[in-house]
């Protein structure tokens, strides 16, 4: 296997792809957003329960390649407990990593996605879940008892 491909499919990514964290709808969600990647057909919904300005609970649901699913999974573990500006800052780091391939030393798990930068077509796969999460944080609160229109 080539160095590029080994770098793309890091163990962390394979692990999140095989055993996604926080996957499925969140019954207590009060925010939701849906992301689409029309060229690939990747889909990702992100469910949030905001407690004040912090993400108390987060989950995702969708389908797509290993990169998009692992990225969404890892994103949920990183975003939980964070505020909007904190998630924005995390995403900026993540975006730098996937577009430049350079990861600052203090960033551990997200650095697994550095290999994406050698595959420009996959950058949008890696960022899909993040975009959905940021969109969900900006969205209007929804009553927790109502099923999402995305069902």
Give the distance, in angstroms, between the CA of residue 15 and the centroid of all CA atoms in the same chain.
Answer: 15
Question: Which residues 99-128 are close enough to bind another protein by CB under 8 A?
Answer: 119, 122, 125
In the complex, the smallest distance separating the C-beta of residue 73 from another protein, rounded to whole angstroms, is 14
Question: Which residues 5-44 are close enough to bind another protein by CB under 8 A?
Answer: 5, 8-9, 14, 17, 39-43
In the complex, the smallest distance separating the C-beta of residue 40 from another protein, rounded to whole angstroms, is 6
In the complex, the smallest distance separating the C-beta of residue 69 from another protein, rounded to whole angstroms, is 8
Interface residue list for another protein (CB under 8 A): 1-2, 5, 8-9, 14, 17, 39-43, 63-67, 69, 119, 122, 125
């Amino acid at each position: 296997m080539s160095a590029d491909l080994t770098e793309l499919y890091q163990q962390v990514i394979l692990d999140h792809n095989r055993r996604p964290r926080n996957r499925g709808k969140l019954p207590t969600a009060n925010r939701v957003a849906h992301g689409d990647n029309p060229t690939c057909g990747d889909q990702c919904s992100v469910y949030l329960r905001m407690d004040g300005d912090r993400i108390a609970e987060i989950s995702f649901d969708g389908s797509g390649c290993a990169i998009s699913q692992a990225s969404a999974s890892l994103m949920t573990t990183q975003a939980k407990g964070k505020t909007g500006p904190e998630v924005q800052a995390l995403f900026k780091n993540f975006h730098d990593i996937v577009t430049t391939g350079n990861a600052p030393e203090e960033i551990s798990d997200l650095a697994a996605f550095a290999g994406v930068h050698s595959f420009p077509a996959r950058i949008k796969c890696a960022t899909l879940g993040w975009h959905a999460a940021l969109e969900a944080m900006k969205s209007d609160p929804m009553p927790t008892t109502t099923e999402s229109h995305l069902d």
